A and B are shown apart, each in its own frame.
Chain A
Amino acid sequence: MDFELMIGSFPKLLSATVITLKLLSLSLFFGLFIGLLFAILRMNKNPIVNKFAYGYSYVFRGTPLLVQIFIIYFGLGQIEYLRSTFLWVMLKEPYWCAIIAFALNTGAYTSEILRSAFQTIKPGLIEAGKSLGIPNKVIFYKIQIPIAIKQSLPAYGNEIILMLKGTSLASTVTLMDLTGVAKYIISTTFKPIEVFIVAGGIYLFMTFCVHNLIKFLEKKYGFQT
């Protein structure tokens, strides 16, 4: 056990954690919007819209995240047309490519979580709202969405943890996030166990925080059951 290396690598890994957290928070932010959009599309009665939303979540949940990042980072640059649009500014940066891939991926999972949450809302609540003369839009924003968010909290907490682990794949497209730096230190010092303990410890600490935050939110906003 090389304790000196463990202590020495800790600050380097900690500064790389900032990138991991940035990637995580940005992709979760965009992913939530994508998820909400596709959850609403999934409940649309038009079969084409419905099938499209289903296809989206099926494809993104059925393929590895690594493939998705590679398609966006290496593949999209091949399309000549994209190079001339404003999107190119983002697509040539590995940072934004990773965020786009993560957001699309977590969006697919989030849409499934939200859809099932919407579907478990008792129809009685919506009917009660209607009979009180509340407009449909208000019912959606004031009744359905808050209940759906509460219902989906535990599942969404799992999704945050999965996404936290998913951000490690950013290291495959040259980003120096926590895993990227850990790999660099391992490959220069050949001390995998020590680095694994430190980097793994940081990841575990973050999962622990997310887990407890969700637990706290559940207690605060959840149903008394």
Chain B
Amino acid sequence: MELLAFGKTGWGDELFYATLMTLAVSITAMLIGFFFALIFTPFKLSKHKSLNLIGNFYTTVIRGVPELLVIYLFFFGGSGAIMFVASMFGYYEYIEINAFITGSFAIGIISGAYSTEVFRGAIQSIDKGQFEASKVLGIKKHIQFYKIILPQMLRLAIPNLSNVWQITLKDTSLISVTGLVEIMRQSYIAAGSTRDPLFFYSFAAVLYLLLTYLSMKLINKLEVKYSRGF
């Protein structure tokens, strides 16, 4: 227990901040994922063959390639890509991007592929009559989306999005390979300096379990809220 003491003698506060870091990365990645899903879901539902192809390419590639490989691509290729773009604007200095940004971007792209599939499924399972009825009533396109499609879609999407959240939360453990100090990295450091890996990795497992358990509780509440009337 003294290993977990707060302050200089134990690893309690370090692990606490590491947990917050894991949460921060997960939430950022999830939001980046929503952003990608917002772009690619219309692509996947589009009637144009080429747009459709782009959407399918994104979800198939990202969901078919290991997360670790995507993280390595961003970790090793990220600053190179940014420097390439910067060189087009005449900036030739070395640019190093922060591990938090690379990590949440890599996980975000992965989470976005899963979110895209969820949103596509949710929109497709809304009755066609809903679209037609709102058209007949002369409701404008964007109002139709915000007031009619989105509320129904959220109800259908939330259970699956909670799965995406769980996947994203667990994927953040992989960012530890890039050196970002989240739960896994902090446990690695603590295990290395105390020579007690069993304790620290088991504690990391408990922290992850706690995070998944608490977030499930929260999401279940949301689910009840959005499925009012069903």
Q: A residues bordering B, Cβ < 8 Å?
A: 58-59, 62-68, 70-71, 74-76, 78-79, 161, 164-169, 171-172, 179, 182-183, 186-187, 190, 192-193, 196, 199-200, 203-204, 207-208
Question: Is there an interface contact between A71 and B66, defined as CB atoms closer than 8 Å?
Answer: no
In the assembled complex, 11 residue pairs joining A and B whose CB atoms fall closer than 8 Å, in A order, are: A62-B166, A67-B201, A67-B204, A70-B187, A71-B202, A74-B201, A78-B196, A164-B66, A168-B68, A192-B76, A207-B64
Question: Which one, B132-140, B150-158, B173-181, is touching chain A?
Answer: B173-181
Stretch at the interface among B9-17, B37-45, B85-93, B208-216: B208-216
Please name the residue on chain B nearest to A168 by beta carbon: B66
B interface residue numbers (CB < 8 A to A): 60-61, 63-69, 72-73, 76-77, 80, 166, 170-171, 173-174, 176-177, 184, 187-188, 191, 196-199, 201-202, 204-205, 208-209, 212-213
Chain A residues touching B, majority SS: helix
Contacts A62-B208, A192-B77, A207-B64 given; indicate if A186 touches B184 (C-beta within 8 A).
no
Given contact pairs A78-B197, A78-B198, A192-B77, A67 touches B184 in the complex (Cβ within 8 A): yes
Q: Quick one: closest A residue to B68, CB to CB?
A: A168
Q: How many A-B residue pairs have CB under 8 A?
A: 112
Report B-chain residues with C-beta under 8 Å of the C-beta of A58.
209
Q: Decide: A71 and B68 in contact? CB cutoff 8 A.
A: no
A161 CA to B59 CA, complexed, in Å? 14
Report which residue of B69, B197, B199 has the largest number of chain A beta carbons within 10 angstroms of its beta carbon: B69
Which of B60, B72, B174, B187 meets A196, CB within 8 Å? B72
Select which of A64, A70, A192, A203 is within 8 A of B66 by beta carbon: A203
Shortest beta-carbon distance, A14 to chain B, in Å? 15
Set of chain B residues within 8 Å of A187, measured between Cβ atoms: 76
Contact across chains for A193 and B73 when beta carbons are under 8 A apart: yes
Closest A residue to B67 by beta carbon equals A165
Docked CA distance A46–B143 (Å): 54
> CB distance B69 to A196 under 8 Å?
yes
The answer to whether A192 touches B72, judged by C-beta atoms less than 8 angstroms apart, is yes
Q: How far is the CA of A188 from the CA of B63 in the complex (A)?
A: 27
Cα A116 to Cα B63 in complex, Å, equals: 24
| CB of A166 to closest CB in B, whole Å | 8
Q: Within the complex, what minimum Cβ distance (angstroms) separates A100 from chain B?
A: 15
Question: B77 to A196, Cβ gap below 8 A?
Answer: yes
Give Cα distance in the complex from A142 to B103, angstroms: 49
Q: How far is the CA of A67 from the CA of B60 in the complex (A)?
A: 27
Task: Collect the chain A residues with CB atoms within 8 Å of residue B68's CB.
Answer: 168-169, 171-172, 179
- Which residues of chain A are within 8 angstroms of B77 by Cβ–Cβ distance? 192-193, 196
Report B-chain residues with C-beta under 8 Å of the C-beta of A182: 69, 72
Chain B residues within an 8 Å CB radius of A66: 173-174, 176, 184
Given A64-B171, A75-B202, A165-B65, are A192 and B184 neighbors across the interface (CB < 8 Å)?
A: no
Contact of A204 among B65, B173, B176, B198 (CB under 8 A): B65
Contact in complex: B64, A161 (CB < 8 Å): yes
> Which residues of the other chain, B, contact A167 by a CB distance below 8 angstroms?
66
Q: A66-B184, A196-B69, A203-B66 are in contact. Are A75 and B76 (CB under 8 A)?
A: no
Instruction: Give the distance to chain A from B49, nearest Cβ to Cβ, in Å.
Output: 21
A78–chain B nearest beta-carbon distance, Å: 5
The 6 closest A-B pairs by CB, nearest first: A168-B66, A75-B198, A192-B77, A64-B173, A74-B197, A207-B64
Tell me which residues across on chain A come within 8 A of B191, comparing CB atoms. 74
CB distance A64 to B64 under 8 Å?
Answer: no
